[in-house]
Amino acid sequence: MFDWNDLKAFLAVARGGSTLAASRALGVNQTTVARRIEALEQALGLKLFERGQTGSRLTDAGEALIPDAEAVERAAIRFANQVSGQLRGATGALRLTTNELVANTMVIPALGEFRKLNPSVQVDLVVTDRTLDIQNGEADLAIRTSQALAPSDLVARKIVDHDLALYCSRDYAARRGVPASLHELKDHDLIDMAMETGEVAAASWMMRHAGGVTPITRSNSMGSLVQAVRAGLGIGAIPCTIADPDPHFIRCSEPITEARATSWIVTRRELKDTPRVRAFIDFMAPYLQQEIRRLQEIGRQRLEEEAMRITSFPAKSAS
Residue 242 one-letter amino acid: I
Q: What is the CATH number of the domain that holds 120?
A: 3.40.190.10
pLDDT at 317 > cutoff 70? no
Specify whether 169 is located in the same domain as 243: yes
Q: Is the pTM of this model over 0.75?
A: no
Distance CA 299, CA 247 (A): 9
Percent of the chain scoring above 70 in pLDDT: 90
Q: Is the model more confident about 59 or about 306? A: 59
Half-sphere exposure (Cβ direction) of 1: Cα atoms closer than 13 Å:
2
- Clarify whether residues 168 and 250 are in a common domain: yes
* Domain boundary residue, one of 213, 235, 260: 260
User: Is 207 contained in some domain?
Assistant: yes
- 134 within a domain of the structure (yes/no): yes
The reply to whether 305 falls in a domain is no
Same domain for 155 and 268, yes or no, is yes
Radius of gyration of the chain (CA): 22
d(CA 257, CA 303): 19
List the CATH number of the domain containing 39: 1.10.10.10
Note whether 79 and 204 are same-domain residues. Answer: no
Say yes or no to pLDDT of 21 above 70. yes
Which stretches within the chain are classed as H helix?
4-16, 19-26, 30-44, 60-88, 100-102, 108-117, 170-176, 201-209, 222-230, 240-243, 275-306
DSSP, res 27:
T
* Pair 149, 270 in one domain: yes
* DSSP at 194: E
Please indicate, yes or no, whether residues 134 and 61 belong to a single structural domain of this protein. Answer: no
Total domain count for the chain? 3
242 shares a domain with 178: yes
Asked if residue 54 belongs to a domain, the reply is yes
Quick: pLDDT tens for 40-81: 999 999 999 998 888 899 999 999 999 999 888 888 876 766
Q: For residue 314, what pLDDT is reported?
A: 55
* pLDDT-derived band at 198, boundaries 50, 70, 90: low
Q: Is 221 helix (H, G, I), strand (E, B) or coil?
A: coil
The closest alpha carbon to 267, from 101, 121, 94, 102, belongs to: 94
CA angle 11, 101, 209 (to 5 degrees): 95
Sheet holding 236-239, edge to edge: 236-239, 164-169, 249-251
Report which residue type is found at 148.
A
User: What is the residue range of 284's domain?
Assistant: 89-161+261-298
Residue 222: count of CB within 10 angstroms of its CB? 25
